[in-house]
A and B are shown apart, each in its own frame.
Chain A
């Protein structure tokens, strides 16, 4: 076998199984060895019980997504085996606690090592220990199977547990060692070879980057109301606020969140707030206020699956219309969609600078994938001494001599110098009603159409200068490619990898990723797209919101769409398969695939059949209204047929559950 230099490890279990800690230890170990990582946690519930599925892709090379594969499964409960064992690729392994769990051979593919760990026996010498220690045993075995360095893991465990004392550190290291040694005795390693550079790189999430980038930029005020997947910004800020000089305010609702941030921004402090789609909906009126009173504020909108409360712990890019359409009226604002984890750091910096210089609201639109998945970034990716550009602020105003301060002076640039509250002589009122240069309201008793026209033009003029400052997007890859994949925000990495895979299959594609959504580089983007042969817009939503926005800004319609809206992020192969189908002229099928039929069956089994059976054989048969997936259900213990489920191929509806008693004798558990 060739030496292998990239692996994806999946850890599956219930919330509360301590899976995050194990994942963290694995990640830190590999990262400190100088490997690159990209992880994704498809969690379902933040509380105890829900299925958690963490995948960590580890490579010697820089990687851009969590990839397509699964090589090693660490199963912490039976459900993880049920759901993921069959995904393990040939040459991989399944590590599990054999005291509690079983791997039914029907669930695994060819050439997959099953690595049962007799956890109780292994840890018996170390005294009575909590159940969570099965994770550490399995991790030890994994280190051996993947030819990773045990000492580094021991160092990470020592750092993790040092606050609990030497005894705890030693215990954890010993337990990991027991797993490692047992694997060494029983199994053959999977054939991985690594070149450990030991370059230390941060392993961070986008949300952490937003927070630290903002602090570096001088943000002093962060307000939020808890909402997944933005909450980790709040948590980071709350934990580090005192050290970093940031006032962190959890508010009563998002109305308060954004209005407080705007108040703080108006008073001269760099202020930021974060939320997801539902909270952003409540913020919109105030974002328009910030545009009107020309107050700087940065709002981070982290998208999750919608509509409505939607799928809180799943990803999507379907809030673009909302962010773009936020608030009544025309007002100056900036919308930025950072394209990768490193970019989150610098986007936070840039957002604060733009907000201050141009005195307007800046919305950063992210999504669950970008905000929450951790990855290694380059060692020198970030630096502390970022530019802090505050724009024009006066230090005093000789009231008597120059007359009333013109807060909204009709300047050529559109930028009117600010007087921060407290500045001698600069008193004025910042009104959400339309006003003149001095801030005097012209909305009601004294209306003045030309003044209104001029102030509206003044405010909007700022957008020209903003656009001039933003880096136009660039086409990456061969200029004469047959295809151009267009994406926005977080999909940059996965599109990049899909393009590499397409090239391997003889399909040449290039890539246009858009970061600045508003103001929009209409001229540059039109020029680029005008030269493209065939364009496909890749988006994580149902309607192709960006493609529509692109059409509005440029008049250009993309040729095709690749869309995903099942809550899971794109993996490179999804894009490759759809692109190939498009080239081959096959319309995208929304039929339920075999894998999906199995997932639907698992869902049904969990809800109605208490996880007692599993889908065994699946085949398509004719039905009354539509074709059906006929799913045979087998007992998880007995392996015997317990009943059948019919799932519509077209609609995905679960038509019928036929308990065994109908088919033969005995009772189902529905």
Chain B
């Protein structure tokens, strides 16, 4: 393998400054992604960042790479199409909890089941930020939001557990306040060959007054720091994914190497689709027509 030439984070600096509220957790995620890409030496032209709609989904506009800022909930599907068309690209999906675990949850589950080689970073602020503070699929029970003034009646989704049972081969959780750790998780996810999830506690300082930096600072601890935590053990990972309360684990829960969809798809054996010859030979045409005669 060729030696990796690391790139400075300025490589990815966009002409556009982020428009997030000062203190928004998403700044840390953007920074961590730039650090990770730089560390892996990924050229901006080879990185494709795909998002949906939400505060968090504005991220592609703030990084100098290729990007698609797609529709609310559809980032994973668009990214899947891009990856299948050109699997030479590194494809990273960035979005929010509403985008990925609400309106787009179907694509999320099926992409994991397919083990497509995609990295999915979810800025999970447990609220709908862009639409000014309604309950999201990860909003804690009983929390009051604009749409649940009497308290949220629904239980939150557990993204890590969901990923574990859906076939994701790299399942992790980070915290925007732990930037270096998060950058490592993201780098690991991009390097991982297969579907990787990085669920990130990325506080919305404006609309979520419960799940704040203070909230997480007191609770998060790193799985990596623990003696003998085995990322190959799915059962233990699932157990730990339910830990929520005074102590909340972050880090890589689970990692496994399985054939990816792009490895197994015969149409891709001759290289990326986008580079393949277009059109049809006379021989093939005649052969196809013969079936109709």
Give A contacts to B, CB under 8 Å: 28, 31-32, 200-204, 208, 212, 215-218, 220-221, 223, 240-249, 251-253, 255-256, 259-271, 285-286, 289, 293, 382-386, 388, 404, 420-433, 438, 440-441, 444-445
The answer to whether B65 touches A433, judged by C-beta atoms less than 8 angstroms apart, is no
The answer to whether B292 and A202 touch across the interface, beta carbons within 8 angstroms, is yes
CB neighbours (8 Å) of B74 from chain A are 255, 259, 286, 289
Picked from B16, B48, B78, B84, the residue with its CB within 8 Å of the CB of A247 is: B84
- For B67, the chain A residues whose CB sits under 8 A away are 427-431
Of all chain A residues, which has the CB nearest B65? A427
- Bound-state CA distance A249–B73 (Å) is 20
Q: Which residues of B have CB within 8 Å of A424?
A: 45
Give the residues in chain A near B61, CB-CB below 8 Å: 429, 431, 440-441
Write out the residue numbers on chain A whose beta carbons fall within 8 Å of the beta carbon of B78. 259-260, 262-263, 266
**How many whole Å from B228's CB to the nearest CB in chain A?**
38
10 contacts between A and B (CB under 8 A): A218-B279, A220-B276, A255-B106, A260-B84, A267-B82, A384-B280, A388-B278, A421-B48, A422-B274, A444-B19
Cα distance, A404 to B61, chains bound together (Å): 13
Q: A404-B15, A431-B69, A441-B58 are in contact. Are A256 and B107 (CB under 8 A)?
A: yes
| Bound-complex Cα distance A265 to B82 (A) | 8
Chain A nearest Cβ from B33, distance in angstroms: 14
Q: B284 near A: Cβ within 8 Å?
A: yes
Q: Which residues of chain B are near A223, meaning CB under 8 Å?
A: 81
Which of A241, A260, A270, A423 has the most B CB atoms < 10 Å from its CB?
Answer: A260
Residues on A with C-beta less than 8 A from B66 are: 421-422, 426-429
Does A385 lie within 8 Å of B279, measured CB to CB? Answer: yes
Complexed CA–CA distance, A493 and B260 (Å): 48
Taking the closest CB of chain B, its distance from the CB of A355, in whole angstroms, is: 14
Our count of residue pairs bridging A and B at CB distance below 8 angstroms stands at 206
| A203 and B85 contacting across the interface, CB-CB below 8 Å | no
Nearest Cβ distance between residue B60 and chain A, in whole angstroms? 5
Chain A CB within 8 A of B102 CB: no
A269 to B293, CA, bound (A): 31
Is the CB of B88 closer than 8 A to any CB of chain A?
yes
- Is B211 located at the chain interface by the 8 A CB criterion? no
The answer to the question of B1 belonging to the interface, with a C-beta cut-off of 8 Å to chain A, is no
Is there a chain A Cβ closer than 8 Å to B110's Cβ? yes
Does B205 sit at the interface, judged by CB under 8 A? no
Q: Identify which of residues 272-292 in chain B touch chain A, using a CB-to-CB cut-off of 8 Å.
A: 273-274, 276-282, 284-285, 287-289, 292
Q: Looking across the interface, which residue of chain B has its beta carbon closest to that of A249? A: B84
Q: Which of A200, A251, A261 counts the most B-chain CB atoms under 10 A from its CB?
A: A251
Q: Are B69 and A441 within 8 A (Cβ)? A: yes
Given contacts A200-B293, A255-B106, A432-B70, contact A260 B274 (CB under 8 A): no
Q: Which of B22-30, B134-142, B217-225, B261-269 contacts A (4 or more CB under 8 A)?
A: B261-269
A242 and B81: CB pair below 8 A?
no
The interface residues of chain A lying within 8 Å CB-to-CB of B73 are: 255
Known: A31-B293, A218-B278. 20 other contacts (CB 8 A): A28-B293, A204-B292, A216-B285, A218-B279, A220-B273, A220-B274, A244-B280, A252-B107, A252-B110, A259-B70, A265-B81, A267-B86, A271-B81, A289-B71, A382-B285, A384-B281, A386-B279, A388-B279, A427-B67, A431-B68
Measured between alpha carbons, how far is A38 from B82 in the docked complex, in Å? Answer: 41
Across the A-B interface, the 3 shortest Cβ-Cβ residue pairs = A263-B81, A218-B278, A384-B285
Asked if B77 and A263 sit within 8 Å, CB to CB, the answer is yes
B285 touching A426, Cβ below 8 Å: no
B69's nearest neighbour on chain A, judged by CB, is A431
Q: A216 CA to B286 CA in the complex, in Å?
A: 12
Chain A residues positioned under 8 Å from B65 (CB to CB): 427
| CA–CA, A252 and B77, complex, Å | 10
Could you tell me the distance between the alpha carbons of A440 and B61 in the complex, rounded to whole angstroms?
Answer: 7
Residues of chain A with a CB closer than 8 A to B289's CB: 202, 382
Nearest-Cβ distance from residue A202 to partner chain B, whole angstroms = 4
**B56 close to A (CB within 8 Å):** no
B64 on the interface (CB 8 Å rule)? yes
Chain B residues lying within 8 Å of A200, measured Cβ to Cβ, are 293
Once A202-B293, A259-B74 are accepted as A-B contacts, the answer to whether A427 and B84 lie under 8 Å apart by CB is: no
Interface centre among A249, A429, A430 (most CB of B within 10 A): A429
Decide if B106 touches A256 in the complex (CB within 8 Å): yes
Q: Is B44 close to A, CB under 8 A?
A: yes
Find the residue from A261, A266, A420 having the highest chain B CB count within 10 A: A266
- A424–B45 Cα distance when bound, in Å, is 6
A residues in contact with B77, CB < 8 Å: 251, 255-256, 259-260, 263
Counting chain B CB atoms within 10 Å of each CB, the highest count among A253, A259, A271 belongs to A259
B residues 38-71 with Cβ under 8 Å of A?
44-46, 48, 50, 53, 58, 60-61, 64-71
CA A258 to CA B69, docked complex, whole Å:
16
> Is residue B145 within 8 Å, beta carbon to beta carbon, of the partner chain?
no
Give Cα distance in the complex from A244 to B291, angstroms.
14
A32 to B293, CA, bound (A): 7
Q: Is A269 a contact partner of B86 (Cβ separation < 8 A)?
A: yes
Pair B70/A423 contact, Cβ less than 8 Å = no
Q: Report if A270-B79 is in contact (Cβ < 8 Å); known contacts: A202-B289, A259-B70.
A: no
Interchain CB contact under 8 A, A266 and B82: yes
Interface centre among A204, A261, A431 (most CB of B within 10 A): A431
Query: Within 8 Å of chain A (Cβ to Cβ): is B119?
Result: no
Asked if A244 contacts B19 (CB within 8 A), the reply is no
Minimum C-beta distance from B156 to chain A (A): 23
Bound-state Cα–Cα, A423 to B282, Å: 32
Closest partner residue, chain B, to A387 (CB atom)? B279
Whether B89 is near chain A, meaning CB under 8 Å from some CB there, is yes
Residues in B whose Cβ lies below 8 Å from that of A240: 288
CB contact between A267 and one of B19, B81, B293 (< 8 Å): that residue: B81
Alpha-carbon distance between A31 and B16 when the two chains are bound, in angstroms: 64
**Which B residues are in CB contact (< 8 Å) with A438?**
15
The closest CB in chain B to the CB of A397 belongs to B45
Return the contact of A440 from the options B15, B48, B282 (Cβ within 8 A): B15
The answer to whether A263 touches B85 (Cβ under 8 A) is: yes
Kindly provide the distance from the CB of A42 to the nearest chain B CB, expressed in whole angstroms: 22
Give the residues in chain A near B45, CB-CB below 8 Å.
421-427
Looking at the assembled complex, report how far the CB atom of A255 sits from the nearest CB atom of chain B, in whole angstroms: 7
Query: In the assembled complex, how far is the CB of residue B245 from the closest CB belonging to chain A, in whole angstroms?
Result: 34
CB distance from B186 to the nearest CB of A (A): 19
B80 at the interface (CB under 8 A from A): yes
Residues of A within 8 A of B273 (CB): 220-221, 247, 264, 269
Is B89 in contact with A422, judged by CB distance below 8 angstroms?
A: yes
Contacts known (A247-B265, A420-B274); A429 close to B293, Cβ less than 8 A: no
Q: How far is the CA of A268 from the CA of B50 in the complex (A)?
A: 16
On whether the beta carbons of A267 and B85 are closer than 8 Å, the reply is yes
Select the residue from B64, B66, B276, B281 with max chain A CB neighbours within 10 A.
B66
Docked pose: A445 CA to B61 CA in angstroms: 13
The CA-CA distance from A521 to B204 in the complex, in Å, is 52
Nearest-Cβ distance from residue A620 to partner chain B, whole angstroms: 48
Q: Are B293 and A440 in contact (CB under 8 A)?
A: no
| Cα–Cα, bound, A249→B84 (Å) | 10
Across the interface, which residues of A come within 8 angstroms of B282, CB to CB?
384-385
Query: Which residues of the other chain, B, contact A242 by a CB distance below 8 angstroms?
Result: 266-267
Q: How far is the CA of A217 from the CA of B287 in the complex (A)?
A: 17
Shortest B96–chain A CB gap in Å is 15
Contact in complex: B69, A445 (CB < 8 Å): no
B276–A245 contact, CB under 8 A? yes
Which residues of the partner chain B approach A241 to less than 8 Å between Cβ atoms? 267
Expressed in whole angstroms, the minimum distance between the Cβ of A21 and any Cβ of chain B is 15
Give the residue of B68, B110, B278, B279 whose beta carbon is less than 8 angstroms from that of A429: B68
Q: Are B278 and A220 in touch, CB under 8 angstroms?
A: yes
A263 touches B293 (CB 8 A): no
Partner of A445, one of B19, B89, B265, B287: B19
Q: A267: which B residues are within 8 A, CB to CB?
A: 48, 81-82, 85-86, 89, 274
Q: List residues of chain A with CB within 8 A of the CB of B79.
A: 263
Q: Tell me which residues across on chain A come within 8 A of B278, comparing CB atoms.
A: 217-218, 220, 270, 388
Which residues on the A side are within 8 Å of B265 (C-beta)?
Answer: 247
Is A245 within 8 A of B267, CB to CB?
yes
